[in-house]
Amino acid sequence: MTFLINPNLAQLLVVVGVMLLMLTNIHPRSTMLKVGMVVCLMTAGVEVVYLKVNPWSFLIVALSPLPFFIAVCQARTNNPLFLLSIFMLTVSAAFLFVDQNNQPVVHDGLAGLVSMICGAVLWISSEGLRNAEGRRLSNDPESVVGLIGEVRTDIGSHSAGSVLVDGELWQARSKTPIPAASTVRIIRQDGFWLTVKKVDQITKQ
């Protein structure tokens, strides 16, 4: 078992796990992403117990999804927060594990390769969101406001769910809990997020 305790493997698991965490915010219904995220982060947690960690790098890596999540919720089509989040994750992870002299022990080539691949995946994914939102906003900034949709996953008072609107799946929130299969009206659009209100089934056109 000890041969698996390796800083290079640990760095790979951390970066991939955090990357998958970010992607689950774009694709909340993907079970594969969630399972992969949990497996990577749990395995990385075991590695961290046996390896010496740079606390500052660990903090930056842990906070790296935050700008990404904020950018997803905003309506800006060219948001620098996407790039900031990718930079925080990929650069800080290369210095995450250190030796007794606090020198990085992750192989430079591997760290660079992992960072480039994961950074590219996140950038391409975020670019797809930006392009989709840009097309929608350029056609009609209020294109979904007022439309009727169907709740696909439960919306809690403090947690988001998903809503199918005009053939597209959106992340949505509400001031009150709304169960799956309910009919809702879109009352507000904030970037890639919708605010919805439950309506009677009879009002659906």
Each residue of 96-128: pLDDT tens digit? 998 888 888 888 888 888 888 888 888 777 765
Classify domain 148-203 by CATH number: 2.40.50.140
pLDDT value for 139: 47
- Quick one: which of 73, 92, 76 has its CA closest to 22? 73
Arithmetic mean of pLDDT over the chain: 81
Question: Whole-model pTM?
Answer: 0.64
Residue in this structure with the two tokens 């507000």, named with its chain if needed = 188
Residue 16, CA distances (Å) to 150, 189, 197 in order = 33, 31, 36
Q: What is the pLDDT of residues 19-69, one digit of tens each?
A: 999 888 777 667 888 899 999 999 988 888 889 999 999 999 999 999 888
Q: How far apart are CA 40 and CA 23, in angstroms?
A: 14
Domain boundaries, the chain: 2-139, 148-203
Most distant CA atoms of the chain, gap in Å = 69
Mean pLDDT of 167-187: 87
Q: What is the pLDDT of residues 78-102, one digit of tens each?
A: 668 888 888 898 888 889 998 888 8
